[in-house]
Structure 1
C-alpha cells in the first residue's frame, strides 16, 4: 500500500482570493499531474492530508476528483478534535463536507487545542503513516509549511525509504504554462 502525505502553503500565504482564483486552478493542476503519474505507475493508494485552508484542502479536492477514475482513497487527518472550530461558518462547512466525502478522517489528538505539542505529534503521525510526501512549498519563500519541510528533512537523514517531492514556484510556473497550453488545445 502506497500512501502520500500532501501539505503546503495556506491560501492566505499565496494571496488567493475566493475559490475561483486562477492560482488555485494552477496548484490543483500541478497536484493532479503528480498524483496521476503515481497512480498510472501503480505507486499510490491513499492520499493523506490535513484540513488547512489552502493546499491541503485543494489536494483533497483533487483526490476526490481522481477517485472517480482510479482506485484511490482519501484520509483527512486533524491535529486536534476541534480543529477549524474558530473558522468562519463557510470554511467550517467546507471542512465538514470534506470530512463527509473522505474515506477516513480522524484527529491525532482526541481533545481540544492544547498547544504546539499537538502539531508535532500530528507531523510525526503523518510521517510514520505515509511512504512519501508532496509539499507545495519553496524553501526560498518560507511559510507555515516550513515546519513540515524541516521535520521531513530531519527524518530523511534516518530513513532512506521515504521520499519528499517539492512543488516549488518554478514548478508552479511550469504548471501554469502547461495548463494554459492544454486549455488552448481545446
Structure 2
C-alpha cells in the first residue's frame, strides 16, 4: 500500500475545542500505532482533506513521523477552495501551519464552497485515488466520518482496498495503558 486516506470526526463532533485537550494525545497515539507498521511496509502518502479535528491532528502526527521516516509524505486535498474561510482566526492559523508543512496541497473542485455535493465528490475522489482508509469511527455515534466510510466500504466491493477503523474501544486501551504507565 502506497497511499492512505485518513479521517475521523471533526473537533466539535467530539466536543474538543482546545488543542491542548488530552483526548487529542490519545487519538494521535492510536493513529501513530496504526501508521508505523504501514509506513515500514511501504506507505508513502497520507492524504487528508484538511478538516478541523482528527484529520489535522493526524497531519501533525505525520509531520512528526516524517523526521523518522523521511520517505513519508502528507497530501491535503481540500473539497473546495478556501475551506478555512469561515473558521475563526485561531483555527485558520493552525490550518495554515499544517498546510505549510504538507508536501502537496490542492483543491478537488477548484472552486469556493457552493453546495454539499462538493463534500461527497471529495470523498469519492479521494477513495478512488488511494489504496486504503484509516478512520476513527464509533458505530454508535453518527457524524461526518460515516459518509467517507460508506464510500470506502463500497470501494472494497470493487477492488482490494484496505480499511481499518479505530474504535472507542481502541482509544480506551490507549488511555488505560497511559494510566498504567503513570
The TM tier, using the shorter chain, reads: over 0.9
1:36 aligns with 2:59: no
Classify the secondary structure of the residue corresponding to 2:47. strand
Per-residue deviation, residues 82-124 of structure 1 (Å, max 9, x unmatched): 2110000111111111111100111101111111221121112
Partner residue in 1 for 2:124:
124
Per-residue deviation, residues 1-22 of structure 1 (Å, max 9, x unmatched): 6111000011111111311111
Partner residue in 2 for 1:12:
12
Partner residue in 2 for 1:172:
171
Per-residue deviation, residues 126-156 of structure 1 (Å, max 9, x unmatched): 1122101000111221111111111211222
**Aligned residues between the structures:** 181
TM-score by length of 2: 0.94
> Is this contact kept in 2: 1:8–1:135, CA < 8 A?
yes
The answer for unaligned runs of 5 or more in structure 1 is none
- CA deviation after TM superposition for structure 1 residue 178, in Å: 2.5
> Is this contact kept in 1: 2:75–2:104, CA < 8 A?
yes
> Is this contact kept in 2: 1:29–1:179, CA < 8 A?
no
> Is this contact kept in 2: 1:47–1:74, CA < 8 A?
yes
- Structure 1 stretches of 4+ with a deviation exceeding 6 A read none
> What is the 5 A alignment of 1:120-159?
120-159=120-159
> What is the 5 A alignment of 1:88-99?
88-99=88-99
TM-score by length of 1: 0.92
Classify the secondary structure of the residue corresponding to 2:165. strand
Per-residue deviation, residues 42-65 of structure 1 (Å, max 9, x unmatched): 231111111111100001000000
The verdict on how the C-alpha distance between 1:113 and 1:17 changes in structure 2, with shifts beyond 3 A counting, is closer
